[in-house]
Amino acid sequence: MKTQYFGDPSNPKIVVLHPMLLDGKSMLPLLGELRNSHCVIAPDLTGHGTDTGIFQSAQQEAATLAGWLTTQGWIDLKLVFGASIGAVVAMQLIAMPTFKVHTAVLEGCPLHSNAAFLRMMATRMFLSKHRKAQQHPGLSAQRMTKIYGETLGLIMGHTFEQIRPETLQAIAAACSDCTFPNYPKELEAHLFFEYGSEDISAKTARRVVSKHYPSASFTIREGYVHCQYPAVLGEQYSKVLEEYLARELH
């Protein structure tokens, strides 16, 4: 993981954890005007962006980020936002008693547990598409652009061509075997799960959230696939985050 922050470090802190195939900087537009009033910590997860290592686990990513934040003395976190594998990492980070997390928004978090068959299928799919992406440069970018828009689609396509197969395997494993930490009731009440209606993880997630986090909020965005809603809204997605942040004040 390559840690980086943007903005005045004296401002309240926001942590943003990107999904597979993106990087920290690509997530900044989603924050809109929040970037002007907050210090944004937006790391590149291992194997993404400026980090050329091999992703091992969500727990290791969370531990690495936690160590860096603690060293900086940044333990009061106004918002933690994570998408897809970034949301899996976020779930581990916000459970650490070191941090005071005010609000957490988890977009497209794959809340599967002990899903061996899903892991096998996801691994096969990732590796098959990865081989095709390397054989046909630019093909993945074309496909991603149709779903997530040109700016993000180009980044995702390029990353998919370059990413290490071992990282894809590890991410498939992490998304197939989530753990469900216990959170303080105050945080659980300010925990917001978001899914597109066409996200294959949404049905499982609804059951898991209802069972493990009954005080959390669960929202379905009709007509959208996995993590597409923030991508389509772009800077307008910041209004969603601002609304969730405002709930802490009531």
Contact (CB, 8 A) for 48 and 83 = no
Q: Is residue 141 part of a domain?
A: no
* Residue-level pLDDT at 190: 97
Q: Is residue 202 part of a domain?
A: yes
Q: How confident is the model at residue 63 (pLDDT cuts 50, 70, 90)?
A: very high
Q: Is residue 118 part of a domain?
A: no
* Residue-level pLDDT at 29: 96
* Residue-level pLDDT at 250: 54
Calculate mean pLDDT across residues 150-166: 96
Cβ-Cβ contacts under 8 Å for 177 (sequence gap 6 or more) = 112, 113, 114, 115, 119
Q: Is residue 122 part of a domain?
A: no
pLDDT of residue 249 exceeding 90, the answer is no
The pair of structure tokens assigned to 112 is 């599967």
How far apart are the C-alpha atoms of 172 and 174, rounded to whole Å?
A: 6
User: Which residue do the tokens 């941090």 mark?
Assistant: 99
* Residue-level pLDDT at 220: 98
Q: How confident is the model at residue 80 (pLDDT cuts 50, 70, 90)?
A: very high
How far apart are the C-alpha atoms of 105 and 86, rounded to whole Å?
A: 11
User: Which residue do the tokens 């965005």 mark?
Assistant: 221
Nearest to 109 by CA among 94, 132, 90, 127: 90
Cβ-Cβ contacts under 8 Å for 28 (sequence gap 6 or more) = 6, 16, 35, 40, 42
Nearest to 163 by CA among 62, 12, 19, 10: 19
Mean pLDDT rounded to a whole number for the chain: 96
∠ CA 191-119-150, rounded to 5°:
65
pLDDT digits (tens, 9 = 90+) for 87-106: 999 999 999 999 999 999 99
Q: Is residue 159 part of a domain?
A: no
Contact (CB, 8 A) for 11 and 40 = no
Cβ-Cβ contacts under 8 Å for 135 (sequence gap 6 or more) = none
How far apart are the C-alpha atoms of 79 and 103, rounded to whole Å?
A: 5
Calculate mean pLDDT across residues 179-190: 95
Q: Is residue 66 part of a domain?
A: yes
Q: Is residue 44 part of a domain?
A: yes
CATH number, residue 205? 3.40.50.1820
Q: Give 3-state DSSP helix, strand, coil % of the chain, rounded to 5.
A: 50, 15, 35
Q: Is residue 45 part of a domain?
A: yes
Q: Count structural domains, the chain.
A: 1
The pair of structure tokens assigned to 136 is 């046909």
Calculate mean pLDDT across residues 119-133: 95
Q: Could you tell me the residue range of the domain that residue 203 belongs to?
A: 2-112+179-246
